[in-house]
Amino acid sequence: MSEKVLQTIKELTEINSPSGNAAEAVNYVKDKAESLGYPTKLTNKGALIITVKGEDDEHQRCITAHVDTLGAMVKEIKEDGRLALSLIGGFTYNAIEGEYCEIQTEAGQVYTGTICLHETSVHVYKDNHEIERNIEHMEVRIDEKTTSAEETRDLGIEVGDFISFDSRTQITPSGFIKSRHLDDKASVAMILELLEKLKQEDTTLPHTTQFYISNNEEIGYGANASISEKIIEFIAFDMGALGDGQSSDEYTVSICAKDSSGPYHKELKSHLINLCKINQIPYKVDIYPYYGSDASAALRAGADIRHGLFGAGIESSHALERTHIDSIKATQDLLYAYCLSPIKL
């Protein structure tokens, strides 16, 4: 594993790209892939497909990762000039309380702010810790002189403007990388690292592989369209979910056996496990109970594919996330081994 992948993760996480407004992050990946000489295609809904030609063009693979993230929109401009939020993606308000954010207007202006409980001050609001964190009580305090809805609108801010959360990305001396949006920008960075490795080694894959960088995964329909009928295997390259009752950790690659959509393809899961055993890659097999992926979205859309899911173990998913370079390395090793392995026809 090179240190470059960590820098790429940092650069990606620092690009604002909530679902519905991920074009800048998509273009970042597009430029990187094209600089390496790979052909790319933008789909109508703004996703990116990077095609790597292989020896067998009739039986293809698709590996998808997503650059869209959690975020919010302006739901309402309040009488005091502050903003009510409408959340984008599956998370709770307590995960963003106190977070710095940016509001992007329709005209492209960017303002900073903080996501606060309206009744934050303990010197004014008794027992504020008992107040439910919800749309009625959470708001954005804008870093501008505004005390009315009219003054906020004069800034160019309106209902429907996107709100992005500060990534706060840090790489520690002990080998941890912590940030918002490691789900799933860590995976995207690893794909870019793989593409560079294949180019440097002049490696030809056994099967043509489409790397599908989706832009709507967090809202349920990222890589569920523009899927070639030649694709046999479809991998969601996403995060492993950690917590009580889970076997995955921050130091291995996590292979998903089942999530909220049901079991993943048994033979493909077994193939991933065998690759780990053969290549001495540390791994864990897990079930993610409240999770859905672009692979399951593709199946629901009618794709006739064998679907699988693996990725780095991510602590505190959909909040202040963290993983370790050991997990990144194990995940990269499995990605490389998988891409170089033949499809069982």
List active site positions. Answer: 217
Reported as type and span, the H/E element at residue 87 is: strand 83-88
Radius of gyration of the chain (CA): 21
Residue 318 counted as an annotated binding residue: yes
Residue 66 counted as an annotated binding residue: yes
Dihedral (CA of 155, 156, 159, 165) sign: negative
Residue 31 counted as an annotated binding residue: no
Alpha carbons 297 and 181: distance in angstroms, whole number: 20
Reported as type and span, the H/E element at residue 63 is: strand 54-66
Q: Which residues of 81-118 are buried (b: 16+ CB within 10 A; e: fewer)?
A: bbbbbebbbebebebbeebebbbbbeeeeebebbbbbb
Q: In 3-state terms, what secondary structure has residue 276?
A: helix
Token pair in block for residue 226: 């523009």
Residue 161 counted as an annotated binding residue: no
Alpha carbons 310 and 288: distance in angstroms, whole number: 11
* Closest CA relative to residue 186, chosen from 31, 42, 87, 330: 330
CA angle 209, 10, 293 (to 5 degrees): 45
Alpha helices by DSSP H, listed for 155-229, are 182-201
Tell me if 169 sits within 8 A of 294, measured CB to CB: no
- Which residues are documented as binding site for Zn(2+)? 66, 183, 218, 238, 318
